[in-house]
Each structure stands twice: as C-alpha cells, then as structure tokens.
Amino acid sequence: MVFMVDKHVNFFALQKACEKPGCPLCTIINERIDRYIDGMLFEHISDRTFRAQYRAAGGFCNRHAEALLSYRDGLAVAILGRDTLQDYLADFKKKKIRKRKEICPACAEQLRIEKEFLTFIAEAEDSKKAKTEAADSEDIPLPEFFVKSQGLCIQHYAKLITYAKKVPKWLKEFQENRFKALEERTSRFIEFSAWGRQQDFESLSPADKIVWKELAAALRGNVSH
Ligand SMILES: [Zn+2]
Ligand SMILES: [Zn+2]
C-alpha cells in the first residue's frame, strides 16, 4: 500500500517537474536534496544513525557541503562539523588519515532518488497502451507529459540505460532523437564557425548560434549542488 502511495507521489512530482525547463529528474533532485539536507540538519541531528553515517563519511562531499555555508541553523552545522573535525585531529595525531568507506549521505540519497525515478520512468508503457489502462482515471499517461518536457539530461539518460532492464520504445526514440538533433546542430555550428563561412554562420537561428550552451547544459544536467 505504501508503495502505491509512493508511486502516486512520484507520478505527480514528475508531472510537475516536466512543466519546468531543464531535465525533470535534475529538477526533482534539486528540490528533494534541499529538503533532505534541511530535514537531516533540522530534525535528525539527534538521529544516531544519521550522525554515525555522516561521521563515517567524513561529512558531506564538497558539492553538498556548500549548502551548509548558508544554512539557517548554525548549531546543527557546528555539532556535525565538530565530529568530523575531532576525527581529523585524532588522525593528525596518529599521522595516519583513515580511509572513509561511507559515501556522502546526500550523494547516497541522490543515488536512491535517481534509481527510484529512472526505474519508474522506464516502466511506463507507451502512450497508446497506457491510455487504455488509465481510461478510468484522470491521470495523463506518463509518456504523454514526459515528451513535452526537455527530456532527461545525458547523465540521467545514461543512468537510466544502466538501471533499467528494458528501455521502452517511446522513451528511447524521444531521448535519442533529441540528442541526435543536438549533435547535428552542434556539427553545423562547428562547420560554420570555420574561416570563410561567416555568411553561413549568420544564417543560423539565434538558438543555433549558441548551441554549445545547450550542449554543455545537456551534458552536465542542472543539478544545482
Ligand atoms: Zn538530469
Ligand atoms: Zn554529496
């Protein structure tokens, strides 16, 4: 039952993220990781498991530690940070730095979210079939709203292929056609950037003149921290 509720929550989170610019999964991660760090610091500072996990990891990674700098609860940051600092001081004394086996807790949470959503997306049937199944509900089939979004960034699509047993046809076509089109526009941009091709370059659309920005964004995704 809990699983069904989760599925519903994920469905609507995805639908909302698809209405925003950029990779929908990056959007979800940004929201959820913010909430995760907030929750961890605010409510779970007294949670032994979290503190132990955090300590074993030696704190958050660089990317996630940045969120601490602007965090509103200084005491939580101090308590967690002191654990890490004390471990380092002990290591310095022994002149031996411990090997950390745990990964950053926020990175672990991000991996969990990615796996959950990517398998969820990969399980969505193609539109026609989904429509008959969803006929009695008011839900828009996932593929229908998903293809109106900007699609997954390269990193997330690559992860989807890694996690999913099978990539549905609608998704494969949608994603790979987008990347193929981006590759063609980039090639044209490179070709027209050559010496003597200025006139051709001028004929490019405004978006095509800065396609390298789109490419860099697709490669990187838009996870903010
Ligand atoms: Zn992404
Ligand atoms: Zn991290």
Summarised one tens digit per residue, pLDDT across range 203-220 is 999 999 999 999 998 898
Cβ atoms of 105 and 112 within 8 Å: the answer is: no
Residue 25 has pLDDT above 60, yes or no: yes
Q: Please, which pLDDT band fits residue 76 given cuts at 50, 70 and 90?
A: confident
Once rounded to an integer, what is the mean pLDDT over residues 39-52?
Answer: 79
Residue 225 has pLDDT above 70, yes or no: no
Distance between Cα 104 and ligand 2 center (Å): 5
Distance between Cα 33 and ligand 2 center (Å): 10
pLDDT for 1: 42
Distance between Cα 51 and ligand 2 center (Å): 15
More confident residue, 149 or 5: 149
Residue 183 has pLDDT above 80, yes or no: yes
Once rounded to an integer, what is the mean pLDDT over residues 14-32?
Answer: 95
Cα–Cα distance measured from residue 19 to residue 13, given in angstroms and rounded to the nearest whole number? 10
Distance between Cα 172 and ligand 2 center (Å): 29
Distance between Cα 129 and ligand 1 center (Å): 27
Distance between Cα 148 and ligand 2 center (Å): 30
Residues 6+ apart with CB under 8 A from 106: 33, 36, 37, 40, 60, 61, 64, 67
Work out whether the CA dihedral 47, 74, 32, 116 comes out positive or negative: negative
